[in-house]
Amino acid sequence: MLRSNFSFYPFILSMVALVICITIHEFAHAFSAWRAGDETPYKQGRISLNPIDHLDPMGTIMMVVSSLAGFGIGWGKAVRINPSNFRNPRWDNLRVSLWGPLSNLIAAFVVGIIIRTVGHSMSEALALFLLILMQINIALALFNLIPIHPLDGSHILTSLLPYESARRYNYFMARHGMLAFIGLIVLGNRIFPIIIGMPTRFLMQAFVGL
């Protein structure tokens, strides 16, 4: 259902910002995997900042529908990697997984610096877009750090856990991860304001002083 306070202009800005954020996120995964020794992302054309190379059809549809419903959730095309090609498989897998959320936080930080330094001379439209871009970058990073498969947080946790604990965790996620992910999306309106909304506001204040 379309939310009652729907505004078309901010919605369009949010969609553009989401595409940019997802592109940055997936490019960071692909580039870091390639630098770690895996040629798979390069061969699949993922070392690119062209959004078309990174958008997933269902993820894009979900992005639009969920934004219309009042919370923006979407995903890009997963970057395929082969950890056996990494020079240090366990730790390279951790770095590749981290670089997705980290790239969004870095982008948000850079946008925050721009707003802080030259925001007073910007048009209202540009300032609004940059604020939305910063907010979505932070929210996307935090969302992906949730340790539920297939989010980056699950791969990060697997790399940090002792081997036997990681094996049991992966087994649990293989059986129940998708159900947990669906539950996360269904309950999004209730839990995202707490686990994503509050930290996002804190980081926005830290980055730009709003």
Report the predicted TM-score, pTM, of the whole model to 2 decimal places: 0.90
Question: Whose CA is closest to 96, among 79, 115, 112?
Answer: 79
| pLDDT at residue number 55 | 86
Query: How far is Cα 172 from Cα 157, in angstroms, rounded to an integer?
Result: 13
Beta-carbon neighbour count of residue 159 at 10 Å?
Answer: 19
In this structure, what token pair is assigned to residue 46?
A: 């993922």
Query: Helix or strand or coil: residue 78?
Result: coil
Q: To the nearest 10°, the Cα dihedral for 34, 106, 10, 15? A: 10
- Between CA 152 and CA 132 the distance in angstroms is 23
Q: Check residue 2 and give its pLDDT.
A: 42
Beta bridge partners of 118: none
Identify the pLDDT of residue 1.
40
Q: Which residue has the tokens 């269904």?
A: 186
Where in the sequence numbering do the catalytic residues fall?
A: 26
Is the CB of residue 74 less than 8 Å from the CB of residue 21?
Answer: no
Q: Are 38 and 85 in contact (CB under 8 A)?
A: yes
Report the alpha-carbon distance of residue 103 to residue 108 in Å, rounded. 9
In this prediction, the residues of the chain whose per-residue pLDDT falls under 50 are 1-2, 4
